Amino acid sequence: MYERVPPLLIRMKCLFTLVNVTKRLGFKPIVSRQFHVDKRNMTRKRGALIVFEGCDRSGKTTQCNLLAKNLTDKGENVELMKFPDRTTVIGKMINDYLSCKKDVEDHSVHLLFSANRWESVPKMLELLYNGTTLIIDRYAYSGVAFTGAKPDFEIDWCKQPDVGLPRPDKVIYLTLSSEAAAKRGGFGEERYEKTEFQNRVAKNFELLKDDDWVTVDADKSVDDLQMELLNICRKTIDESVNKSIYKLWTDEKYH
């Protein structure tokens, strides 16, 4: 039985660990600052933040790519983002880890995944306040679900590094049986694509669900699934235009 650690202490330990990791990797430290977005030239109606989650090979990437195209064709301002973003310095390290080219200690790699999301926050906020809807392929929930599936990790600890990220307006959780996922092309090529591990990840996703989540069965044709997702996304876009942007796992708003 673990002794419960206060969230603030957990976040401080996460920060110290990440600082030490980045120093060893040769990164230059930066001064911590609050995110500020100049809204003077921005539209009054903001874009929606729509996140897709699910276990590996559930069809997230295919559907996100199709959604970005189809929504754009229908006149929506849309940008597709994927996490991890493997184009950044941190993202390239994560890519080497996921493709089994390098090993990284589990706590450290969890913080690298989180840092990879945080480095995109200024861009995300600017796009949202300018009226661009973001379709995001994986987000903080994946970080928590996957690390939490490893031995000796608690969900509370896993959540702390991502507290304060922009909160999604909708999380679309694609479900697919592990047997069906294993039959899809490419399964097993990356580090976490093992059936037993994916089952533990799925259980963690269930623990993370809240009122902003919608669960969609992905075991159907690409076209049928896309039509269902289009309807959800268009409704979310309409409902989000005048809403504030909240911070993930808090009651605070971005200003």
CA distance 17 to 105: 11
CATH architecture of 47-240: 3-Layer(aba) Sandwich (3.40)
What is the average pLDDT across 141-167?
97
Q: In the predicted model, is pLDDT for residue 59 greater than 50?
A: yes
Query: Given the DSSP bridges, would you call strands 170-175 and 213-217 parallel, antiparallel or unpaired?
Result: parallel
Q: In the predicted model, is pLDDT for residue 160 greater than 60?
A: yes
Give the pLDDT band of residue 186 (cuts 50, 70, 90).
Answer: low
Instruction: Judge contact between 230 and 67, C-beta under 8 A.
Output: yes
Signed CA dihedral, 48, 91, 137, 208: sign only: negative
Which one-letter amino acid corresponds to residue 179?
Answer: E
Instruction: Judge contact between 43 and 130, C-beta under 8 A.
Output: yes
Q: What is the pLDDT of residue 247?
A: 98
Per-residue pLDDT of 72-83, as tens digits, reads 999 999 999 999
pTM of the full structure: 0.84
Per-residue pLDDT of 2-27, as tens digits, reads 344 455 555 545 555 554 554 455 54
CA atoms within 13 A on the CB side of 243: 18
Structural domain spans, the chain: 47-240
Q: Which segment of 4-18, 54-68, 99-113, 233-247 scores lowest on mean pLDDT? A: 4-18
| The pair of three-digit structure tokens given for residue 34, joined into one six-digit string | 């609050």
Q: Which segment of 4-13, 122-131, 172-181 scores lowest on mean pLDDT? A: 4-13
Q: What is the pLDDT of residue 28?
A: 47
Q: What is the pLDDT of residue 128?
A: 98
Q: In the predicted model, is pLDDT for residue 145 greater than 90?
A: yes
What is the average pLDDT across 170-177?
94
